[in-house]
A and B are shown apart, each in its own frame.
Chain A
Amino acid sequence: MKAVVLLDFWASPFGQRCRIALAEKGVEYEYREENIHGDKSPLLLQSNPVYKKIPVLILDGKPVCESLIIVQYIDEAWPDRAPLLPADPYARAQARFWADFVDKKVRRCSPCVRSMSSIRNTAFLVPSNVFTHQVCESAKKLWTPKGEAQDAAKEEFIEILRLLEGELGDKKYFGGDAFGFVDIALVPFTTWFYSCETYAGFSVEEAVPKLVAWSKRCLERGSVAKSLYDPLEVYEFVKKIFG
């Protein structure tokens, strides 16, 4: 086994965060795809016995779990290049706050947190945080047929994106001129926007044009371009889950 291994699933936005961070740091690693439709590998079960989920970063046999914790670990383990968090303590606290906001709010509305009963065995799709029940309820509303519940979920989702756009403002990236932690936390979810728009009938670009422009800037970075998948490919994957 190589010194750095990432247990992952191609479509997982959480795994993509780790891939982007490793690419930013220029770290060579072995990518291992987990079969989410089948049994979890013994290595995954051994490396993440608490949640049994990807992504897991294994460095010299020692596993690190939870994507934002992995990204911070990558930043601290390779401190000599491409800092992912700002040096200033207050700016760092703000970066952590907004990345945590993405985890609490944006992932709620994305299809990767759908009903547990239909995808219980999938290694990445069920979130490991406290909001599981609320999350699934919220996601179901966005991803199920038209009606009041879906409209409310759509409004909630747009409101969350607007808050993020407000935080971005006119900056190039969330941290200013330097690509970093919040950008990494959020950008993988942008490839799910097309799916959200198609299912719930709205335009993300109309609602949050600055955020969409930011996502395009991020995609110009090699680390992001090679880690994310085309929105249409994501949509095909979503259709398989939701029908």
Chain B
Amino acid sequence: MAAAEGGEVKLIGSWPSPFVLRARVALNLKGVEYEYLQEKPGPKSELLLRSNPVYKKIPVLLHHCKPVCESMIIVEYVDVVWAAATRAILPADPYERALHRFWAAYIDGKLFPSVVAIAKDEPKMAKVEAVEQLHTGIKLMEEAFERLSKGKGFFGGDAIGYLDIALGCFLGWFKVCEEVTGLKFLDEEKSPLLVGWAERFCSDEAVKDVMPENERLEEYTKLCRAFAAD
């Protein structure tokens, strides 16, 4: 385990959140020791409100008590601060970095709202539209994987990289969407590369102990939908 670079590291999070998972995977990849502070259901903690007054959302990384917010910003921060610990999360080449950032932004902009709409039955987006958007998105990510992986196991090449983290942390939620709709989003026929990649990602040392189990996510989804219906 890498030393905490002269300062304690804490992560404020919540177990179902794919965004929190991104931060945890990045920290695990770098072997950083950190204290995980699980937000309890109900009112947000004082620490969270103080650390992220703008959005009041998790994840928040606290390093030397200084907060870093927004999941992919946390991932980049961890990559740079613990650069010596292990291989880089972001590619070295500026153009490759731009492509990883582009697709991560696409995931947040297009895939995330579809997932929320399907899993939580959000009225903001019609289910039909959400399903179509998720199918389109996964097709695009399959093509992106073919181009960016260059025949290797991950978007980042030989090991998990920035875009692997951005997309991989939604895998549990894609399964929930499949449960909810009865449809297949990641399947052997239409997205064979991503199916293989998903198995590799989920079984990676940095991921397997922090990825929430499917049953737990499904229970959580049922509860959210029940609350929304009340």
Contacts and interface: CB of A to CB of B under 8 A. Distances in A.
A93 B70 CA distance: 9
A130 B110 contact: yes
Contacts of A50: 106, 140
Contacts of A76: 94, 97
Interface string B40-74: 00000000000000100000000100101110011
A134 B116 CA distance: 15
Interface string B82-120: 000000000000110110011001101110110000000
Interface stretch (A8-16, A63-71, A113-121, A142-150): A63-71
Q: Is the interface of B mostly helix, strand, loop or mixed?
A: helix
A69 B95 contact: no
Contacts of A101: 54
Contact of A64 (B98, B106, B113): B98
B98 A73 contact: yes
Contacts, number: 65
Interface residues of A, number: 26
B80 interface: yes
Given A73-B98, A76-B97, A133 B105 contact: no
Given A59-B95, A133-B124, A89 B73 contact: no
Interface residues of B, number: 28
B200 to A, nearest CB: 25
A73 B70 contact: no
Contact of B125 (A66, A92, A128, A133): A133
Given A69-B101, A89-B81, A100 B73 contact: yes
B39 interface: no
Interface of B: 54, 63, 66, 68-70, 73-74, 76-77, 80-81, 94-95, 97-98, 101-102, 105-106, 108-110, 112-113, 124-125, 140
5 contacts: A64-B95, A64-B98, A65-B102, A89-B77, A129-B105
9 closest cross-chain pairs (CB), A and B:
A76-B94, A129-B109, A73-B98, A89-B80, A93-B77, A130-B113, A64-B98, A130-B109, A93-B68
Given A72-B98, A129-B109, 13 more contacts: A50-B106, A59-B95, A66-B101, A66-B102, A69-B105, A72-B101, A73-B98, A89-B81, A93-B73, A93-B74, A97-B69, A128-B109, A130-B113
Interface of A: 50, 59, 62, 64-66, 69-70, 72-73, 76-77, 89-90, 92-93, 96-97, 100-101, 128-130, 133-134, 163
